[in-house]
Amino acid sequence: MFNIFPRKLVLREAENKLENLSHAERVVYWTIVLTPLWWVLGVQTLLYPGVGLYLLAYDFHVDKLVKRSLPLCNWMWLLLSLAVLWTNIQGLSSMSFNPMKSAATVVTLLKGYFLVFACLTIPFWHRVRLSVVTRAVAWMTAGYLVSLGIQLIILFGTGPQPALMPPLAKAIPGDKLSLMVKFAVFQPFCGLPLARTELYTADPPILGACALLCFFICFGEIDKYLRKYALSGCTATLIIAQSRLAWTCFPIVLLAVICFRKASARQGFLWFSTLICFICALVGMEVSELLDKPMETFNGARADSSKDRALVVAATLAAWKESPWIGWGIVERTVTWGNGAFELPLGTFSTYAQILYLHGVLGFTFFAIAALTTLWFLWGPALRGKRTAQRAFASLIAMYMLCQATNLSWMIVYFWFYFLWLGTILAEAYPQYVSSWQELSRNNGIKS
């Protein structure tokens, strides 16, 4: 029987207790574990980029860049950040100076693609072990059970509650809507009113993406009891988030991981695909027609939401065509429907449409190269049988699929630890890029 868990889960007691944490590991560990506190205070969008910048600058040496460099995927995320900055400056220069708008743009940049670069790079410059990140995420997701339980008790006991403005959120520039502490509500799904929440995130689909990615991170937790509660928390959160695309991606990730480890699974997938094509040819039907009915069910589960997304994406792409090469830099337009009853900024849905609209072909090219090179650097260790790399590769594909429905630059700050997890996997797979001091402290157990 196929087992997705690692074969050797019994490690040394010292490793199980995560002793001798480095400074970077302590910062990362407590930042992740205390996620509910940052959510209640309303400081998430500034704290996580601040942690990334701090760890990049902490004990920085030029030798870390000159002698060991970094994998190409890290540099591509940095170049993407610079391209985004340049297009943002172009967009801001076309309007009168607005200090709040400029500050909000800088915050958006730091908590977006630059945060990906920082999280991928930190494990190459500091000792940040995979087990430490996994343990922190496991504790955080096990806490999902408590947070969801409290929210459901409030919902069924007193009914839906209004959102609260955290005490420190007012000091953060930009839109305050994503900083609100919101409670569970009833929303229709397939015509039935069901409980739905966004928990520590700004939107339920983002919570679904977090739960999906955390599920495969927590598979690496070596404490079986903590792993059980963490996976239960991820599953419950994935269900209550009601993210249809996250539900669809979940079996796809499982299938991808199985295909890495079982030749029979790869052959079975090919035979199944061949059979589907043969049946379609036999009855004179195209494969797209065969998928129409499932897509109708998928869109019909929350029909209004699907129509709204399609409308906003279409308007976003239409605006991009007016400035195709460098985009508009900043969001200045909105789209309305329902006789003006509904209004959303362009680029609200779909990462790919948003990048084209804001940063044009230039930004989209850097994004595509960064995304593909990250997959490529994970592909090698995954083929060599490294199980964490296999889960990382499969979950990264799922994340790219999730980007079709929600902006990645908006989601990154809520699962920044996922990219840190990817960075630890890359650092273990490519030790030639690891800084000499980090390598020495890893081998000798020195606190860096």
Residue 119 falls inside a structural domain: yes
> DSSP of 276-308, one letter per residue?
HHHHHHHHT--HHHHHHHHHHHHHHTTHHHHHH
78-98: per-residue pLDDT in tens?
999 999 999 888 887 777 666
- Domains in the chain, number: 1
| Spatial separation of the C-alpha atoms in residues 212 and 209, rounded to whole Å | 5
Which whole number is the average pLDDT over 277-294?
A: 51
Contact 440, 430 (CB under 8 A): no
Provide φ and ψ at 162, rounded to 5°. Answer: -70, 155
For residue 8, name the pLDDT band (cuts at 50, 70, 90): very low
For residue 341, name the pLDDT band (cuts at 50, 70, 90): low
- According to the model, what pLDDT value does residue 447 have? 44
- pTM, rounded to two decimals: 0.86
Q: In which residue are the tokens 């480890």 written? A: 261
- According to the model, what pLDDT value does residue 203 have? 86
Residue 409 falls inside a structural domain: yes
Q: In which domain, by residue range, is 254 found?
A: 20-444
pLDDT of 61 > 60? The answer is yes
pLDDT of 70 > 80? The answer is yes
- According to the model, what pLDDT value does residue 7 have? 44
Residue 141 falls inside a structural domain: yes
For residue 128, name the pLDDT band (cuts at 50, 70, 90): very high
Which whole number is the average pLDDT over 41-68?
A: 84
pLDDT of 275 > 70? The answer is no
Q: What is the mean pLDDT of the chain?
A: 81
Helix pair angle (130-158, 23-33), 10° resolution: 20
- According to the model, what pLDDT value does residue 62 have? 73
Of 28-37, 396-405, 435-444, the least confident: 435-444
Helix pair angle (113-125, 99-110), 10° resolution: 40
- According to the model, what pLDDT value does residue 121 have? 94
For residue 422, name the pLDDT band (cuts at 50, 70, 90): very high
Residue 249 falls inside a structural domain: yes
- According to the model, what pLDDT value does residue 174 have? 61
Of 180-184, 350-354, 378-382, the least confident: 180-184
129-175: per-residue pLDDT in tens?
999 999 999 999 999 999 999 999 998 888 888 888 887 777 776 66
Of 118-127, 210-219, 237-246, 436-445, the least confident: 436-445
Backbone φ/ψ region at 50: left (φ over 0), alpha (ψ -120 to 50), beta: alpha
For residue 300, name the pLDDT band (cuts at 50, 70, 90): low
**Which comes out higher in pLDDT, residue 264 or 211?**
211
Residue 174 falls inside a structural domain: yes
DSSP 8-class letter at 188: E
Provide φ and ψ at 73, rounded to 5°. Answer: -60, -35
**Which comes out higher in pLDDT, residue 248 or 424?**
424
pLDDT of 67 > 90? The answer is no
Residue 272 falls inside a structural domain: yes
Contact 431, 439 (CB under 8 A): yes
For residue 230, name the pLDDT band (cuts at 50, 70, 90): very high
- According to the model, what pLDDT value does residue 256 have? 83
Residues 6+ away with beta carbon under 8 Å from 200: 35, 36, 39, 44, 147, 207, 210, 414
Which whole number is the average pLDDT over 164-189?
A: 77
Closest Cα to residue 427, out of 177, 61, 119? 119
Cα within 13 Å of Cα(412), Cβ side? 26
Residue 133 falls inside a structural domain: yes
Residue 10 falls inside a structural domain: no
- Sequence letter at residue 150: I
For residue 232 the two structure tokens come to 């239960």
Q: In which residue are the tokens 């990264």 written? A: 396
pLDDT of 270 > 70? The answer is no
| Spatial separation of the C-alpha atoms in residues 232 and 145, rounded to whole Å | 8
